[in-house]
Amino acid sequence: MRARSGHIKFDKKVKWKNLVPAFKPMLLKFMEETQQLPEDLESVDVLVEENLRDLRLNRKPEGYNREGIMRMIFPISNEVEFYIYGRGKTVEVARVTEQVSRVLQKYRLKHTIEWDKLKLFADKKES
């Protein structure tokens, strides 16, 4: 499957704070699958803790919005959702999104996956 972005939308009952136990394994899986896991794991711990601080307060986290082949972005929205956006191979986005989804399933967080829902990039595809 080819996709430029994979959107994970949580069930209406899921709140930001429900992601706390799953966030670290989810982020580590994302970084591992995209080969963006740095050798200095201390910086990863800081990133995880910053995101967990927001989640514990039931707020939208920052995610992983660094320069790289893929990003995990939590958009400004009234819903609990995030997307994985890739600038490289479109096959990889689908694979990584599916891997992250499996982590969320282990933590029994009900969600759905939608593909290529970024308006800006959808418009570019049509032209």
Return mean pLDDT, the chain: 89
Q: CA of 18: how far to CAs of 12, 55, 96, 126, in Å?
A: 12, 8, 22, 37
Taking 70 as the threshold, does the pLDDT of residue 33 lie above it?
yes
Model pLDDT, residue 39: 85
Range of the domain at 15: 5-126
Count of the separate structural domains present in the chain: 1
Hey, what amino acid is at 89?
K
- For residues 20-41, give the mean pLDDT: 92
As a whole-number percent, the residues of the chain with pLDDT over 90 amount to 67
Taking 90 as the threshold, does the pLDDT of residue 16 lie above it?
yes
Question: What CA–CA distance (Å, rounded) separates 31 from 116?
Answer: 21
Q: Please, which residues have CB within 8 angstroms of residue 51's CB and are 6 or more apart in sequence?
A: 23, 27, 61, 62, 63
E strand or H helix that includes residue 51: helix 41-56
